[in-house]
């Protein structure tokens, strides 16, 4: 049964037709700097407020991630200390990954998630592109199957990915398998830099979903919606 969880931001909830439907596989795609990590943090903020336990697989170290999110008003330190947020850094200082070693990273992470999924309600991967850089198509599809299996067992997965980081046919299959597919862009409107969010697909929304809107990242507020007329100017 699908449940709607607030993101913790009323404006974002409104654009999503009420909030995040869970359990679901949520895919957030965009170029570097388009706001993928910030949108993901907003979703995590709402899920943690709803007492869910999260495993975050991150490109950053634990300290780097927590400090980075604090600068835009997402303070995850207490959740981390209370073991409601676990962070698994993909970068290990002092270790250099060869291409041959890197191709095994996605299968290893996939098995780790499967073995530990009972400990968490939500698994977040920010970003999937690092895991798939040298992965075979077979391992990507196997990972996708694991994700769908976990969703069927009442788990939610949030995955961010860079544009054009997958072969077209694999990217199409990943997007098609997602329950929620969000596409982000950095745009300039009348000399003002904003982010654009397009909700391509959202299964289970409570009400009509706004297909596209613009937002800014406000250091004192987090995500701030910009009137759509500005985005279309």
170-228 confidence digits (pLDDT tens):
999 999 999 999 999 998 877 788 999 999 999 987 777 767 888 999 888 889 998 75
Question: DSSP 3-state assignment of 137?
Answer: helix
pLDDT at 228: 54
- Lowest mean per-residue pLDDT among 40-54, 55-69, 95-109: 95-109
Q: Flag whether pLDDT at 231 surpasses 60.
A: no
Q: How many domains does the chain have?
A: 1
> Can you give the pTM of this predicted structure?
0.92
pLDDT band at 138, cuts 50/70/90?
very high
**Angle at the Cα of 189 (from 184 to 194), degrees rounded to 5?**
40
pLDDT band at 230, cuts 50/70/90?
very low
- Give the H/E segment covering residue 13: helix 10-15
CATH classification at residue 143: 3.40.50.300
Check: CB of residue 159 under 8 Å from CB of residue 123.
Answer: no
Show the domain range for 44. 3-231
């Amino acid at each position: 049964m699908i449940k709607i969880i607030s993101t913790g931001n009323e404006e974002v909830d409104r654009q999503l037709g009420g909030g995040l439907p869970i359990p679901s596989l949520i895919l957030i795609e965009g170029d570097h700097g388009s706001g993928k990590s910030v949108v993901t943090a907003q979703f995590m903020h709402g899920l943690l407020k709803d007492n869910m336990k999260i495993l975050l697989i991150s490109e950053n170290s634990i300290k780097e991630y927590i400090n980075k999110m604090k600068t835009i008003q997402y303070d995850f330190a207490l959740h981390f200390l209370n073991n409601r947020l676990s962070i698994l850094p993909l970068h290990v200082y002092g270790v250099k990954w060869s291409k041959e070693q890197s191709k095994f990273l996605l299968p290893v992470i996939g098995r780790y998630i499967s073995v530990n999924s009972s400990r968490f309600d939500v698994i977040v991967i920010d970003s999937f592109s690092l895991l798939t850089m040298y992965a075979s198509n077979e391992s990507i599809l196997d990972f996708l199957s694991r994700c769908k299996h976990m969703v069927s067992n009442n788990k939610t997965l949030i995955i961010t990915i860079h544009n054009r980081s997958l072969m077209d046919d694999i990217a199409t299959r990943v997007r098609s398998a997602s329950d929620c597919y969000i596409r982000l862009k950095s745009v300039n409107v009348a000399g003002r830099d904003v982010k654009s969010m397009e909700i391509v697909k959202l299964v289970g929304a409570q009400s009509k979903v706004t297909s596209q809107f613009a937002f800014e990242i406000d250091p004192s507020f987090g995500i701030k919606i910009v009137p759509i007329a500005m985005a279309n100017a």
